[in-house]
Every structure is written in structure tokens, then in C-alpha cells.
């Protein structure tokens, strides 16, 4: 039987070919073995079991041994962070439709710009605007069009309402002072 048809204790990517059957702890009542998500370690099963590949997130109850209080606090934080995303629209000159990103996910300008480059498959000016590439601009709380990068990141996060990736030529007027 091909090794990857066995459910085993290893996480995907680990070389767990030598986990004993003894360690897989076949359960007393075989009909419970399917309920791997809540009941325990998935036992080594036969090939005609409905699960033909190890579930990437096969959860073992109580492992890693972290207090449920700690787990629920972490989950609550993750949830809060996810819910309170700061989504802003991103437009690119010439593109037919806009995108939306959560600026909370980025830890700084360079991280943001790299993500935008990835998203739009272009390259963004970082220093000075020679007019040949794209320049990142944003619309702030007052509705003004500003060049990205002048203010501290925190301030940018709270004042940015919308991002606009301008074609270099149009952005020359926004060139930064020094």
C-alpha cells in the first residue's frame, strides 16, 4: 500500500514512515475511528477508507498541550484582527477594475509596495519618480491625493482611504521634495 495512503501521526512534509502501528492506537470501537477531528489520533487505516490522503490539519485532541484558555484567547485575537481589517480600494491607471486590500496586514511601506507589485504585476518607484514606472499615491481623509511614503506608517494606516497607482508620467507633479 502506498505510504501516502496511510493516515499517520506525521504532519505533511515530515518523514514519518516509521511510526509504529502500535503507536497509532487503534480504538476499541472501530466505528469511532472516522471521527478523527474530535476523537483522537487517526489510526492507520485500510486503503478503502474514505480518507485517501492525510488531512493537512489533522487535529489531535489536546495537542499541542496548550491550555484552552490560551487557545481561546489567541482565537479571539485572530478573529478580532480578521474582522477589523482596514480594507481600501486600490486602483491602477488603465486597469479596468479595482482591487481591495487590507492594509492592516502589512507591517510597513516596503511590505505594502511589494504586495502591490505582486498584485498588479508591475514595478513601483521607490525613490524619486523618473516617469518610467508607476508611483503609489493615496487619497487621505481630506480627499487630497498624496504620495505614499511621507508620513509614519501608523499615520498612513489611519488616514489612507484609497490607494491609486499612478503612471509615472502623471505622478511627476507629486515628486517628493528631497
Q: Comparing C-alpha atoms, which of 117, 163, 159, 111 is closest to residue 125?
A: 117
Minimal distance, residue 28 CB to other proteins, in Å: 5
The 83-122 site mask, x for binding other proteins (CB under 8 A), equals ------------------------x---------------
Q: How far is CA 46 from the centre of its chain?
A: 35
Size of the residue set binding other proteins (CB under 8 A) = 48
DSSP 89: E
Binding segment for other proteins (CB under 8 A), chosen from 34-42, 86-94, 117-125, 168-176, is 34-42
β-strands 99-102, 87-92: how paired?
Answer: antiparallel
Minimal distance, residue 64 CB to other proteins, in Å: 6
Among 18, 118, 127, 142, binds other proteins (CB under 8 A): 18
Our finding on whether 77 is near other proteins (CB under 8 A) is yes
Minimal distance, residue 152 CB to other proteins, in Å: 7
Query: How far apart, in Å, are the Cα atoms of 19 and each of 33, 47, 53, 106, 137?
Result: 18, 17, 16, 40, 55
Minimal distance, residue 50 CB to other proteins, in Å: 22
- Rounded CA-CA distance 12/162 in Å is 40
Q: Which residues contact 115 (CB under 8 A, 6 or more apart)?
A: 101, 106
Our finding on whether 71 is near other proteins (CB under 8 A) is yes
Minimal distance, residue 172 CB to other proteins, in Å: 30
Among 1, 3, 31, 64, binds other proteins (CB under 8 A): 64
- Rounded CA-CA distance 33/40 in Å is 8
Count of CB atoms within 10 A of residue 105's CB? 12
Our finding on whether 141 is near other proteins (CB under 8 A) is no
- Rounded CA-CA distance 45/146 in Å is 61
Which residues make up the interface to other proteins (CB under 8 A)?
9-16, 18-20, 22-23, 25, 27-28, 39-41, 56-57, 59-78, 80-81, 107, 152, 154-155, 158
Amino acid at each position: 500500500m502506498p505510504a501516502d495512503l496511510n493516515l499517520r501521526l506525521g504532519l505533511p512534509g515530515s518523514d514519518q514512515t516509521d511510526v509504529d502501528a502500535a503507536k497509532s492506537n487503534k480504538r476499541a470501537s472501530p466505528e469511532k475511528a472516522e471521527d478523527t477531528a474530535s476523537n483522537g489520533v487517526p489510526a492507520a487505516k485500510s486503503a478503502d477508507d474514505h480518507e485517501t490522503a492525510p488531512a493537512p490539519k489533522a487535529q489531535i485532541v489536546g495537542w499541542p498541550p496548550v491550555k484552552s484558555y490560551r487557545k481561546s484567547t489567541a482565537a479571539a485575537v485572530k478573529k478580532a484582527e480578521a474582522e477589523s481589517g482596514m480594507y481600501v480600494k486600490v486602483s491602477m491607471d488603465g486597469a479596468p477594475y479595482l482591487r481591495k486590500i487590507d492594509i492592516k496586514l502589512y507591517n510597513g511601506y516596503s511590505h505594502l509596495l511589494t504586495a502591490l507589485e505582486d498584485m498588479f504585476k508591475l514595478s513601483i518607484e521607490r525613490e524619486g519618480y523618473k516617469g518610467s514606472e508607476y508611483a503609489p499615491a493615496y487619497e487621505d481623509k481630506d480627499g487630497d491625493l498624496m504620495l505614499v511614503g511621507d508620513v509614519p506608517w501608523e499615520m498612513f494606516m489611519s488616514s489612507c482611504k484609497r490607494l491609486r497607482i499612478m503612471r509615472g508620467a502623471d505622478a511627476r507633479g507629486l515628486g517628493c521634495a528631497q
